[in-house]
A and B are shown apart, each in its own frame.
Chain A
Amino acid sequence: MLHTINKSPFETLTMETCFRFLQPGDPVLFIEDGVYAVQAANRFSPMIESLQKNNPVFALQPDLIARGITAVAEGVDAIDYDGFVGLVEEHQVNNWF
Protein backbone atom coordinates (compact mmCIF):
# COMPACT_ATOMS: atom_id res chain seq x y z
CA MET A 1 0.00 0.00 0.00
CA LEU A 2 1.34 3.42 -1.06
CA HIS A 3 1.16 6.10 1.62
CA THR A 4 1.33 9.76 0.57
CA ILE A 5 2.01 12.55 3.06
CA ASN A 6 1.43 16.19 2.14
CA LYS A 7 2.16 18.01 5.40
CA SER A 8 5.39 19.41 6.76
CA PRO A 9 6.31 17.40 9.88
CA PHE A 10 7.19 20.73 11.50
CA GLU A 11 3.56 21.79 11.26
CA THR A 12 1.40 18.70 11.91
CA LEU A 13 1.62 15.15 13.24
CA THR A 14 0.48 13.67 9.93
CA MET A 15 3.82 12.04 9.14
CA GLU A 16 4.37 10.59 12.60
CA THR A 17 0.78 9.33 12.70
CA CYS A 18 1.11 7.68 9.30
CA PHE A 19 4.35 5.95 10.32
CA ARG A 20 2.55 4.11 13.15
CA PHE A 21 0.33 2.33 10.61
CA LEU A 22 2.94 1.44 7.99
CA GLN A 23 3.46 -2.18 7.12
CA PRO A 24 6.91 -3.44 6.11
CA GLY A 25 7.50 -2.80 2.42
CA ASP A 26 4.83 -0.10 2.08
CA PRO A 27 6.29 2.76 0.01
CA VAL A 28 5.99 6.28 1.41
CA LEU A 29 5.75 9.25 -0.95
CA PHE A 30 6.13 12.82 0.30
CA ILE A 31 4.27 15.42 -1.74
CA GLU A 32 3.45 19.14 -1.45
CA ASP A 33 4.60 20.50 1.95
CA GLY A 34 5.35 16.92 2.98
CA VAL A 35 8.67 17.12 1.10
CA TYR A 36 10.17 19.30 3.84
CA ALA A 37 10.46 16.05 5.82
CA VAL A 38 13.22 14.75 3.55
CA GLN A 39 15.45 17.80 3.45
CA ALA A 40 18.86 16.54 4.56
CA ALA A 41 20.08 17.18 8.10
CA ASN A 42 16.84 18.38 9.66
CA ARG A 43 15.26 17.30 12.93
CA PHE A 44 13.43 14.43 11.21
CA SER A 45 16.42 13.01 9.32
CA PRO A 46 17.00 10.18 11.83
CA MET A 47 13.33 9.21 11.48
CA ILE A 48 13.59 9.18 7.67
CA GLU A 49 16.75 7.10 7.93
CA SER A 50 15.17 4.49 10.21
CA LEU A 51 12.01 4.44 8.08
CA GLN A 52 14.12 3.28 5.15
CA LYS A 53 15.08 0.05 6.94
CA ASN A 54 11.66 -1.37 6.08
CA ASN A 55 10.05 1.06 3.66
CA PRO A 56 11.13 2.64 0.38
CA VAL A 57 10.88 6.43 0.57
CA PHE A 58 10.05 8.76 -2.32
CA ALA A 59 9.60 12.52 -2.68
CA LEU A 60 7.88 14.37 -5.50
CA GLN A 61 10.67 16.14 -7.39
CA PRO A 62 8.52 19.05 -8.69
CA ASP A 63 7.58 19.83 -5.07
CA LEU A 64 11.23 19.66 -3.96
CA ILE A 65 12.29 22.01 -6.76
CA ALA A 66 9.40 24.40 -6.06
CA ARG A 67 10.61 24.71 -2.47
CA GLY A 68 14.30 25.06 -3.22
CA ILE A 69 15.18 21.76 -1.58
CA THR A 70 18.31 20.44 -3.24
CA ALA A 71 19.89 18.46 -0.40
CA VAL A 72 17.69 15.43 0.12
CA ALA A 73 18.20 12.77 2.80
CA GLU A 74 20.25 9.81 1.57
CA GLY A 75 18.31 6.99 0.00
CA VAL A 76 15.21 9.06 -0.75
CA ASP A 77 14.18 8.63 -4.36
CA ALA A 78 13.01 11.81 -6.11
CA ILE A 79 10.31 11.05 -8.68
CA ASP A 80 8.07 13.12 -10.96
CA TYR A 81 4.29 12.85 -11.50
CA ASP A 82 4.91 10.01 -13.94
CA GLY A 83 6.70 8.12 -11.17
CA PHE A 84 3.84 8.92 -8.79
CA VAL A 85 1.43 7.27 -11.23
CA GLY A 86 3.84 4.34 -11.50
CA LEU A 87 3.63 3.77 -7.74
CA VAL A 88 -0.17 3.96 -7.90
CA GLU A 89 -0.11 1.26 -10.60
CA GLU A 90 1.73 -1.06 -8.24
CA HIS A 91 -0.11 -0.31 -4.99
CA GLN A 92 -3.46 0.56 -3.51
CA VAL A 93 -3.30 4.05 -2.02
CA ASN A 94 -3.61 5.62 1.39
CA ASN A 95 -3.46 9.39 1.09
CA TRP A 96 -2.73 11.12 4.42
CA PHE A 97 -3.44 14.82 4.95
Chain B
Amino acid sequence: MENENVKKIMHVLRHAPHGTIYTYEGLEMILIMAAYEQDLSVVFIGDGVYALKKGQDTSAIGVKGFSRTFMALDGYDVEKLYVDQISLEERGLSEDDLIVAVEVMNSEKIGRLMKEQDVIIHH
Protein backbone atom coordinates (compact mmCIF):
# COMPACT_ATOMS: atom_id res chain seq x y z
CA MET B 1 0.00 0.00 0.00
CA GLU B 2 1.22 3.45 -0.85
CA ASN B 3 2.21 5.49 2.17
CA GLU B 4 0.55 8.89 1.97
CA ASN B 5 3.23 10.48 4.11
CA VAL B 6 5.92 9.61 1.62
CA LYS B 7 6.49 12.32 -0.96
CA LYS B 8 7.66 11.76 -4.48
CA ILE B 9 10.72 13.96 -4.91
CA MET B 10 12.55 14.12 -8.23
CA HIS B 11 15.99 15.64 -8.71
CA VAL B 12 16.80 16.69 -12.25
CA LEU B 13 20.49 17.04 -13.08
CA ARG B 14 20.92 19.19 -16.18
CA HIS B 15 24.44 20.60 -15.96
CA ALA B 16 27.79 19.13 -16.96
CA PRO B 17 29.78 18.20 -13.86
CA HIS B 18 32.80 20.52 -13.48
CA GLY B 19 32.07 23.82 -15.25
CA THR B 20 29.64 24.79 -12.49
CA ILE B 21 28.93 23.46 -9.00
CA TYR B 22 25.27 22.64 -9.64
CA THR B 23 25.75 18.91 -10.13
CA TYR B 24 28.08 18.47 -7.18
CA GLU B 25 25.85 20.39 -4.76
CA GLY B 26 22.85 18.66 -6.28
CA LEU B 27 24.42 15.33 -5.42
CA GLU B 28 25.06 16.53 -1.86
CA MET B 29 21.37 17.39 -1.57
CA ILE B 30 20.33 14.00 -2.93
CA LEU B 31 22.54 12.16 -0.42
CA ILE B 32 21.00 14.02 2.53
CA MET B 33 17.43 13.60 1.29
CA ALA B 34 18.08 9.88 0.84
CA ALA B 35 18.18 9.53 4.63
CA TYR B 36 14.57 10.73 4.92
CA GLU B 37 12.93 7.70 3.33
CA GLN B 38 11.00 9.58 0.69
CA ASP B 39 10.32 8.29 -2.81
CA LEU B 40 13.40 9.77 -4.50
CA SER B 41 14.33 9.66 -8.13
CA VAL B 42 17.20 11.23 -10.05
CA VAL B 43 16.88 12.13 -13.71
CA PHE B 44 19.73 13.09 -16.02
CA ILE B 45 18.71 15.41 -18.83
CA GLY B 46 20.80 17.44 -21.29
CA ASP B 47 24.39 18.00 -20.19
CA GLY B 48 23.45 16.29 -16.92
CA VAL B 49 24.26 12.97 -18.58
CA TYR B 50 27.94 14.00 -18.70
CA ALA B 51 28.01 13.69 -14.90
CA LEU B 52 27.82 9.92 -15.36
CA LYS B 53 30.54 9.65 -18.00
CA LYS B 54 33.14 6.99 -17.26
CA GLY B 55 36.82 7.85 -17.07
CA GLN B 56 36.65 11.33 -15.53
CA ASP B 57 39.84 12.53 -13.87
CA THR B 58 39.78 16.04 -12.41
CA SER B 59 43.25 15.92 -10.85
CA ALA B 60 44.78 18.29 -13.41
CA ILE B 61 42.07 20.99 -13.19
CA GLY B 62 42.30 21.41 -9.44
CA VAL B 63 38.70 20.57 -8.59
CA LYS B 64 37.35 17.70 -6.57
CA GLY B 65 36.07 14.80 -8.66
CA PHE B 66 32.83 13.14 -7.63
CA SER B 67 31.68 10.86 -10.42
CA ARG B 68 32.32 7.81 -8.24
CA THR B 69 29.87 9.17 -5.66
CA PHE B 70 27.09 8.25 -8.07
CA MET B 71 28.12 4.64 -7.54
CA ALA B 72 27.35 5.07 -3.83
CA LEU B 73 23.74 6.14 -4.43
CA ASP B 74 22.62 2.54 -4.48
CA GLY B 75 23.95 2.12 -0.93
CA TYR B 76 21.73 5.04 0.12
CA ASP B 77 18.72 3.27 -1.42
CA VAL B 78 18.54 5.76 -4.27
CA GLU B 79 17.78 3.26 -6.97
CA LYS B 80 15.66 5.23 -9.40
CA LEU B 81 18.23 6.67 -11.78
CA TYR B 82 16.78 7.65 -15.14
CA VAL B 83 18.60 8.96 -18.17
CA ASP B 84 16.86 10.80 -20.99
CA GLN B 85 17.45 8.78 -24.13
CA ILE B 86 17.67 11.71 -26.56
CA SER B 87 20.14 13.56 -24.32
CA LEU B 88 22.38 10.49 -24.25
CA GLU B 89 22.15 9.75 -27.96
CA GLU B 90 22.63 13.29 -29.20
CA ARG B 91 25.89 13.40 -27.24
CA GLY B 92 27.13 10.28 -28.97
CA LEU B 93 26.95 8.27 -25.75
CA SER B 94 25.39 4.96 -24.81
CA GLU B 95 24.70 3.15 -21.53
CA ASP B 96 28.15 1.54 -21.76
CA ASP B 97 29.75 4.97 -21.35
CA LEU B 98 28.08 5.52 -17.97
CA ILE B 99 29.63 4.85 -14.58
CA VAL B 100 26.46 3.42 -13.01
CA ALA B 101 23.54 1.27 -14.09
CA VAL B 102 20.63 3.49 -15.07
CA GLU B 103 17.33 3.13 -16.82
CA VAL B 104 17.35 4.89 -20.17
CA MET B 105 13.90 6.31 -20.85
CA ASN B 106 12.23 8.29 -23.57
CA SER B 107 11.12 11.86 -22.85
CA GLU B 108 7.44 10.94 -22.90
CA LYS B 109 7.89 8.42 -20.09
CA ILE B 110 10.02 10.82 -18.03
CA GLY B 111 7.39 13.50 -18.63
CA ARG B 112 4.72 11.22 -17.21
CA LEU B 113 6.89 10.49 -14.17
CA MET B 114 7.40 14.23 -13.66
CA LYS B 115 3.67 14.74 -13.56
CA GLU B 116 3.38 12.25 -10.67
CA GLN B 117 5.86 14.14 -8.47
CA ASP B 118 5.10 16.22 -5.41
CA VAL B 119 8.42 18.05 -5.67
CA ILE B 120 10.86 18.53 -8.55
CA ILE B 121 14.22 20.22 -8.04
CA HIS B 122 16.43 21.09 -10.99
CA HIS B 123 20.16 21.34 -10.38
List A residues at the B interface (Cβ < 8 Å).
1, 13, 17, 20-23, 26, 92-97
Query: Shortest distance in angstroms between B114's beta carbon and chain A's nearest beta carbon?
Result: 6
List B residues at the A interface (Cβ < 8 Å).
14, 45-46, 86, 107, 110-112, 114-115, 117-120, 122
List, in ascending order, chain A residues with CB within 8 A of B46's CB: 13, 17
- A23 x B112 contact (CB < 8 A): yes
List, in ascending order, chain B residues with CB within 8 A of A94's CB: 114, 117, 120, 122
Question: How many contacts between A and B, using CB within 8 angstroms?
Answer: 35
- A21 x B111 contact (CB < 8 A): yes
Q: Which residue of A lies closest to B113 (CB)?
A: A21
- A22 x B122 contact (CB < 8 A): no
Among B14, B111, B119, B122, point to the contact of A20 (Cβ < 8 A). Answer: B111
A-B contact pairs, 27 of them (CB 8 A): A1-B114, A1-B115, A13-B46, A17-B14, A17-B45, A20-B107, A20-B111, A21-B45, A21-B107, A23-B111, A23-B114, A23-B115, A26-B115, A92-B117, A92-B118, A92-B119, A92-B120, A93-B120, A94-B114, A94-B117, A94-B120, A94-B122, A95-B120, A95-B122, A96-B122, A97-B14, A97-B122
A15 to B113, CA, bound (A): 19
List, in ascending order, chain A residues with CB within 8 A of B114's CB: 1, 21, 23, 94
List, in ascending order, chain B residues with CB within 8 A of A95's CB: 120, 122
List, in ascending order, chain B residues with CB within 8 A of A17's CB: 14, 45-46
Q: Which residue of A lies closest to B118 (CB)?
A: A92
* Contact A20-B86, Cβ < 8 Å, known A93-B120, A95-B122, A96-B122: yes
A96 to B12, CA, bound (A): 10
Q: Which 7 A-B pairs have the closest CB atoms?
A: A21-B111, A20-B107, A94-B120, A1-B115, A23-B115, A23-B111, A21-B107
List, in ascending order, chain B residues with CB within 8 A of A26's CB: 115
List, in ascending order, chain A residues with CB within 8 A of B115's CB: 1, 23, 26
